[in-house]
Amino acid sequence: MTTIDDKIWHLQHCPLFSGVSEEELKDLEHITVMVKLKPQERILSAHQEERAIWLIKEGMVSLTYGDAEGKDATVMLLSAGDLFGALEQGGEEEMDAYGEHVVALKPTVLCRMTQQQMDSLLHKHPDMAYRVTKFSWQRIARLQQRLADIMTKSVRQRLAILLLNLAGEYGDERDGIHSLGLTITHDDLARLVGSSREMVSKVLSDFRQLGWIHSSRKTIELLDRSALAAIAETPGA
Protein backbone atom coordinates (compact mmCIF):
# COMPACT_ATOMS: atom_id res chain seq x y z
CA MET A 1 0.00 0.00 0.00
CA THR A 2 1.41 3.37 -1.03
CA THR A 3 2.34 5.63 1.85
CA ILE A 4 0.95 9.16 1.47
CA ASP A 5 2.24 11.92 3.73
CA ASP A 6 -0.08 13.91 5.95
CA LYS A 7 -0.61 16.84 3.59
CA ILE A 8 -1.42 14.64 0.58
CA TRP A 9 -3.79 12.54 2.71
CA HIS A 10 -5.76 15.63 3.71
CA LEU A 11 -5.84 16.97 0.15
CA GLN A 12 -7.04 13.58 -1.07
CA HIS A 13 -9.94 13.72 1.39
CA CYS A 14 -10.85 17.27 0.43
CA PRO A 15 -14.19 17.14 -1.50
CA LEU A 16 -12.85 19.25 -4.37
CA PHE A 17 -9.96 16.88 -5.08
CA SER A 18 -11.44 13.55 -4.07
CA GLY A 19 -10.66 10.97 -6.74
CA VAL A 20 -7.87 12.82 -8.54
CA SER A 21 -4.64 10.99 -9.36
CA GLU A 22 -1.73 10.74 -6.94
CA GLU A 23 0.40 12.69 -9.44
CA GLU A 24 -2.06 15.59 -9.33
CA LEU A 25 -2.13 15.45 -5.52
CA LYS A 26 1.67 15.50 -5.32
CA ASP A 27 1.83 18.51 -7.66
CA LEU A 28 -0.76 20.27 -5.51
CA GLU A 29 1.06 19.35 -2.31
CA HIS A 30 4.32 20.71 -3.72
CA ILE A 31 2.97 24.24 -4.19
CA THR A 32 0.78 24.62 -1.10
CA VAL A 33 1.64 25.93 2.36
CA MET A 34 -0.49 24.91 5.34
CA VAL A 35 -1.89 27.64 7.60
CA LYS A 36 -3.79 26.94 10.84
CA LEU A 37 -6.37 29.38 12.24
CA LYS A 38 -8.13 29.69 15.57
CA PRO A 39 -11.83 30.72 15.79
CA GLN A 40 -12.29 34.43 14.96
CA GLU A 41 -8.74 34.73 13.62
CA ARG A 42 -8.40 36.76 10.40
CA ILE A 43 -5.93 35.90 7.69
CA LEU A 44 -6.05 38.43 4.87
CA SER A 45 -7.39 41.71 3.53
CA ALA A 46 -8.11 43.03 0.06
CA HIS A 47 -4.88 44.99 0.13
CA GLN A 48 -2.36 42.17 0.28
CA GLU A 49 0.37 42.66 -2.27
CA GLU A 50 0.80 39.03 -3.30
CA ARG A 51 -2.38 37.55 -4.70
CA ALA A 52 -3.00 34.06 -3.45
CA ILE A 53 -5.57 31.29 -3.63
CA TRP A 54 -6.65 29.48 -0.50
CA LEU A 55 -8.13 25.99 -0.21
CA ILE A 56 -9.97 25.09 2.98
CA LYS A 57 -8.67 21.72 4.11
CA GLU A 58 -10.84 21.59 7.21
CA GLY A 59 -12.90 24.03 9.23
CA MET A 60 -14.97 27.02 8.16
CA VAL A 61 -14.55 30.74 7.36
CA SER A 62 -16.78 33.69 6.59
CA LEU A 63 -16.03 35.74 3.48
CA THR A 64 -16.94 39.43 3.91
CA TYR A 65 -16.64 42.36 1.53
CA GLY A 66 -16.68 46.06 2.41
CA ASP A 67 -17.54 49.15 0.37
CA ALA A 68 -16.16 52.69 0.31
CA GLU A 69 -18.71 53.76 2.94
CA GLY A 70 -17.48 51.18 5.43
CA LYS A 71 -20.48 48.87 5.08
CA ASP A 72 -19.78 45.13 5.22
CA ALA A 73 -21.64 42.22 3.67
CA THR A 74 -20.79 38.59 4.35
CA VAL A 75 -21.10 36.95 0.97
CA MET A 76 -21.05 33.36 2.18
CA LEU A 77 -19.65 30.80 4.55
CA LEU A 78 -17.00 28.48 3.16
CA SER A 79 -16.02 25.05 4.43
CA ALA A 80 -13.79 22.06 3.58
CA GLY A 81 -13.17 21.83 -0.16
CA ASP A 82 -13.97 25.48 -0.90
CA LEU A 83 -11.58 27.87 -2.61
CA PHE A 84 -11.30 31.61 -2.18
CA GLY A 85 -8.86 34.39 -3.07
CA ALA A 86 -7.52 35.49 -6.44
CA LEU A 87 -9.59 33.14 -8.54
CA GLU A 88 -10.08 35.51 -11.47
CA GLN A 89 -8.21 38.18 -13.32
CA GLY A 90 -8.90 40.36 -16.32
CA GLY A 91 -6.08 42.03 -18.23
CA GLU A 92 -4.17 44.69 -16.36
CA GLU A 93 -7.10 45.48 -14.07
CA GLU A 94 -7.46 42.37 -11.99
CA MET A 95 -10.81 41.60 -10.47
CA ASP A 96 -10.37 41.84 -6.73
CA ALA A 97 -11.56 38.42 -5.60
CA TYR A 98 -10.36 38.97 -2.04
CA GLY A 99 -12.77 39.49 0.80
CA GLU A 100 -12.01 42.46 3.01
CA HIS A 101 -12.22 40.02 5.90
CA VAL A 102 -11.81 36.26 5.98
CA VAL A 103 -12.50 35.02 9.50
CA ALA A 104 -12.31 31.49 10.88
CA LEU A 105 -15.54 30.43 12.59
CA LYS A 106 -14.03 27.23 14.01
CA PRO A 107 -10.53 25.67 14.10
CA THR A 108 -9.50 25.79 10.44
CA VAL A 109 -6.62 24.57 8.29
CA LEU A 110 -5.93 26.21 4.93
CA CYS A 111 -3.66 25.43 1.99
CA ARG A 112 -2.19 28.53 0.36
CA MET A 113 -0.77 28.91 -3.17
CA THR A 114 -0.09 31.82 -5.51
CA GLN A 115 -2.32 32.53 -8.47
CA GLN A 116 0.56 31.80 -10.84
CA GLN A 117 1.13 28.41 -9.22
CA MET A 118 -2.55 27.57 -9.53
CA ASP A 119 -2.63 28.61 -13.20
CA SER A 120 0.37 26.36 -13.96
CA LEU A 121 -1.22 23.45 -12.08
CA LEU A 122 -4.53 23.74 -13.96
CA HIS A 123 -2.72 24.03 -17.30
CA LYS A 124 -0.86 20.79 -16.56
CA HIS A 125 -3.94 18.93 -15.27
CA PRO A 126 -7.10 19.71 -17.35
CA ASP A 127 -9.26 17.43 -15.20
CA MET A 128 -8.44 19.50 -12.15
CA ALA A 129 -9.23 22.65 -14.14
CA TYR A 130 -12.68 21.19 -14.88
CA ARG A 131 -13.25 20.58 -11.18
CA VAL A 132 -12.36 24.18 -10.32
CA THR A 133 -14.62 25.51 -13.12
CA LYS A 134 -17.51 23.37 -11.86
CA PHE A 135 -16.86 24.66 -8.35
CA SER A 136 -17.04 28.26 -9.61
CA TRP A 137 -20.43 27.65 -11.25
CA GLN A 138 -21.74 26.06 -8.07
CA ARG A 139 -20.64 29.11 -6.11
CA ILE A 140 -22.46 31.40 -8.53
CA ALA A 141 -25.63 29.33 -8.04
CA ARG A 142 -25.29 29.66 -4.25
CA LEU A 143 -24.90 33.42 -4.53
CA GLN A 144 -27.93 33.68 -6.80
CA GLN A 145 -30.05 31.72 -4.33
CA ARG A 146 -28.87 33.90 -1.45
CA LEU A 147 -29.70 37.07 -3.40
CA ALA A 148 -33.16 35.70 -4.22
CA ASP A 149 -33.78 34.96 -0.52
CA ILE A 150 -32.73 38.48 0.51
CA MET A 151 -35.05 40.04 -2.08
CA THR A 152 -38.13 37.90 -1.42
CA LYS A 153 -38.06 36.68 2.21
CA SER A 154 -38.43 38.44 5.56
CA VAL A 155 -35.59 38.68 8.08
CA ARG A 156 -37.35 36.07 10.26
CA GLN A 157 -37.50 33.68 7.31
CA ARG A 158 -33.92 34.32 6.24
CA LEU A 159 -32.61 33.84 9.78
CA ALA A 160 -34.61 30.63 10.28
CA ILE A 161 -33.29 29.27 6.96
CA LEU A 162 -29.72 30.21 7.89
CA LEU A 163 -29.88 28.56 11.32
CA LEU A 164 -31.35 25.38 9.87
CA ASN A 165 -28.73 25.25 7.11
CA LEU A 166 -25.83 25.88 9.49
CA ALA A 167 -27.04 23.20 11.90
CA GLY A 168 -27.64 20.75 9.07
CA GLU A 169 -24.32 21.25 7.30
CA TYR A 170 -21.91 21.99 10.15
CA GLY A 171 -23.69 21.32 13.44
CA ASP A 172 -23.67 18.62 16.06
CA GLU A 173 -26.66 16.70 17.43
CA ARG A 174 -27.09 15.44 20.96
CA ASP A 175 -30.35 14.15 22.48
CA GLY A 176 -32.32 15.61 19.58
CA ILE A 177 -30.84 19.10 20.02
CA HIS A 178 -28.82 20.55 17.15
CA SER A 179 -26.07 23.11 17.80
CA LEU A 180 -24.40 25.14 15.08
CA GLY A 181 -20.99 23.73 15.96
CA LEU A 182 -19.18 26.99 15.26
CA THR A 183 -18.43 30.36 16.81
CA ILE A 184 -20.62 32.97 15.13
CA THR A 185 -21.61 36.46 16.28
CA HIS A 186 -24.80 38.46 15.80
CA ASP A 187 -22.81 40.66 13.42
CA ASP A 188 -21.91 37.58 11.37
CA LEU A 189 -25.54 36.48 11.24
CA ALA A 190 -26.70 39.98 10.28
CA ARG A 191 -24.24 40.14 7.39
CA LEU A 192 -25.28 36.70 6.18
CA VAL A 193 -28.99 37.49 6.09
CA GLY A 194 -28.54 41.03 4.78
CA SER A 195 -29.95 42.84 7.81
CA SER A 196 -28.84 44.91 10.80
CA ARG A 197 -27.38 43.52 14.00
CA GLU A 198 -30.23 45.08 15.96
CA MET A 199 -32.90 43.37 13.86
CA VAL A 200 -31.13 40.00 14.05
CA SER A 201 -30.77 40.31 17.84
CA LYS A 202 -34.50 41.08 18.12
CA VAL A 203 -35.50 38.08 16.00
CA LEU A 204 -33.18 35.78 17.95
CA SER A 205 -34.71 37.09 21.18
CA ASP A 206 -38.17 36.27 19.80
CA PHE A 207 -37.00 32.77 18.87
CA ARG A 208 -35.61 32.28 22.40
CA GLN A 209 -38.83 33.45 24.07
CA LEU A 210 -40.80 31.03 21.90
CA GLY A 211 -38.52 28.19 23.05
CA TRP A 212 -37.17 27.49 19.58
CA ILE A 213 -33.48 28.20 20.30
CA HIS A 214 -30.98 28.56 23.12
CA SER A 215 -27.98 30.82 22.57
CA SER A 216 -24.71 31.43 24.38
CA ARG A 217 -21.51 33.31 23.61
CA LYS A 218 -20.11 30.25 21.86
CA THR A 219 -22.96 28.85 19.79
CA ILE A 220 -26.70 28.55 19.17
CA GLU A 221 -28.75 25.42 19.86
CA LEU A 222 -31.91 24.65 17.90
CA LEU A 223 -34.55 23.33 20.31
CA ASP A 224 -37.46 23.22 17.85
CA ARG A 225 -36.37 22.71 14.26
CA SER A 226 -39.95 22.05 13.12
CA ALA A 227 -41.06 25.51 14.25
CA LEU A 228 -38.11 27.15 12.51
CA ALA A 229 -38.82 25.16 9.35
CA ALA A 230 -42.45 26.30 9.43
CA ILE A 231 -41.35 29.95 9.66
CA ALA A 232 -38.85 29.43 6.83
CA GLU A 233 -41.57 28.07 4.55
CA THR A 234 -44.33 30.56 5.42
CA PRO A 235 -44.52 33.51 2.98
CA GLY A 236 -44.32 36.85 4.76
CA ALA A 237 -43.61 35.26 8.16
Give the tens place of pLDDT for each residue, 31-68: 888 889 998 888 765 445 457 888 888 888 888 776 66
Mean pLDDT of 113-139: 82
Question: Torsions phi, psi of 60, nearest 5?
Answer: -160, 140
3-state secondary structure of 77: strand
Average the pLDDT over 141-159 and give the result.
82
Sheet holding 220-222, edge to edge: 172-174, 177-179, 220-222, 213-215
Q: Which residue has the higher pLDDT, 75 or 194?
A: 194
Q: Is 74 exposed, middle or buried (0-12, 13-18, 19+ CB in 10 A)?
A: buried
- pLDDT value for 198: 95
User: What's the pLDDT score for residue 7?
Assistant: 64
Res. 133: pLDDT tops 60: yes
**In the prediction, which pLDDT does 188 show?**
84
> What domains are there in the chain, each with its CATH number?
6-149 (2.60.120.10), 153-233 (1.10.10.10)
- pLDDT greater than 50 at residue 87: yes
Q: How much of the chain, in percent, has pLDDT values that exceed 90?
A: 18
As a whole number of angstroms, the distance between CA 194 and CA 158 comes to 9
Contact 112, 54 (CB under 8 A): yes
pLDDT at 70: 64
Whether the per-residue pLDDT at 96 is higher than 60: the answer is no
Mean pLDDT to the nearest integer, 193-215: 93
**pLDDT for position 67:** 64
Structure-model confidence comparison of residues 66 and 196, the more confident one: 196
Distance of CA 218 to CAs 18, 80, 122, 185, 223, Å? 32, 21, 40, 8, 16
Tell me what the mean pLDDT of segment 169-173 comes to: 78
